[in-house]
Amino acid sequence: MYTCTINKIELSFDDRGTGPVLLLVHGFPLDYTMWQVQIDALSARYRVIAPDLRGFGQSGVSHGVVTMKQLADDLAALLDYLSIREPIVLCGLSMGGYIALEFWHNFASRLRGLILCDTRAANDSPEAAANRSTLAQRVLSEGVHGIADTMIPKLFSQCTLQNNPSFIDATRQVIEHTKPHGIASAALGMAQRTDFTAELPRIECPTLVIVGQFDAISPASEMQQMAQAIPNAQFTIVNNAGHMTPLEQPDAVNAAIEEFLQRI
């Protein structure tokens, strides 16, 4: 892992391989390790960069609200730090996808392609936003205990929950090591995020939309509509996966990403 200081925060990131840049952005409340199999496989042909976002993993933590715009600005600053000027492919899962859409909105010329994985274009309903606020308060007053138990059943398919205890344990470890302010700040930022639904027809770069068949957080039907609204998008459903598709079915996800990267 490498570290750099950008936008007044220390950011930790992996940077492996050479070739066209693929930037992988993790979901909430996780860290870059969710992409380990993608990093190992895809760095044979591509330069794969996978940061721990502000507030997560080994990176520094901000207090208050951390917006998706702030997190997108951090990605742009990381690319600047690495002197990467050529357009890149940005792949985000769930919260990483919210950040990817925000990055597109602000830095479209820096994108050669987008990969939107188990994510949504819509913003939170008032009820969902209120739940995030409750979560933030709870985490700050009681700590992160209990968050993993609440989240894990929503993140994985039944099949993974029953057959892959090592994935579940690893994810639990990551969540339980996340700092309360990291979780609270990003939860409050997600509650304020922009609704990009009406903007999707303006995305010009080639886009790959990937979703797990049993995703309970960003359902396949909603992601299919998202793909249909993006002019140059390809839609892929991955069987026997829930929300954590890259972790649950890495071979299928790697094949879809490789095929996309070779085509664009």
Q: What is the contact surface with ligand MLT in residues (CB under 6 A)? A: 27-28, 94-95, 190, 217, 243
Least Cβ distance, residue 125 to ligand MLT (angstroms): 11
Which pairs with CB-CB distance under 8 Å and at least 24 residues apart come from 13-17? 13/49, 13/50, 13/51, 13/52, 13/78, 14/39, 14/48, 14/49, 14/50, 14/51, 15/47, 15/48, 15/49, 15/82, 16/43, 16/47, 16/48, 17/42, 17/43, 17/44, 17/45, 17/46, 17/47, 17/48
Least Cβ distance, residue 56 to ligand MLT (angstroms): 10
Query: Of the two residues 27 and 250, which places its CB atom closer to ligand MLT in the complex?
Result: 27
Do the Cβ atoms of 23 and 80 come closer than 8 Å?
Answer: no
Query: Of the two residues 47 and 243, which places its CB atom closer to ligand MLT in the complex?
Result: 243
Query: Of the two residues 27 and 113, which places its CB atom closer to ligand MLT in the complex?
Result: 27
Least Cβ distance, residue 96 to ligand MLT (angstroms): 7
Q: Which among 115, 102, 95, 20 is positioned nearest to 53, based on CA atoms? A: 95
Q: Which tokens in the block code for residue 224?
A: 């299919």
Query: Of the two residues 95 and 168, which places its CB atom closer to ligand MLT in the complex?
Result: 95
Helices (H), 4-67: 36-42
Query: Of the two residues 43 and 245, which places its CB atom closer to ligand MLT in the complex?
Result: 245
C-alpha gyration radius of the chain? 17
Least Cβ distance, residue 95 to ligand MLT (angstroms): 3
> Residue 164 contacts by C-beta under 8 Å, 6 or more apart in sequence?
156, 248
Distance CA 146, CA 157 (A): 20
Query: Of the two residues 50 and 190, which places its CB atom closer to ligand MLT in the complex?
Result: 190
3-state DSSP call for residue 67? coil
Query: Of the two residues 14 and 215, which places its CB atom closer to ligand MLT in the complex?
Result: 215
Do the Cβ atoms of 49 and 19 come closer than 8 Å?
Answer: no
Q: Which tokens in the block code for residue 129?
A: 């936003």
Least Cβ distance, residue 83 to ligand MLT (angstroms): 29
Q: Which tokens in the block code for residue 132?
A: 């995030």
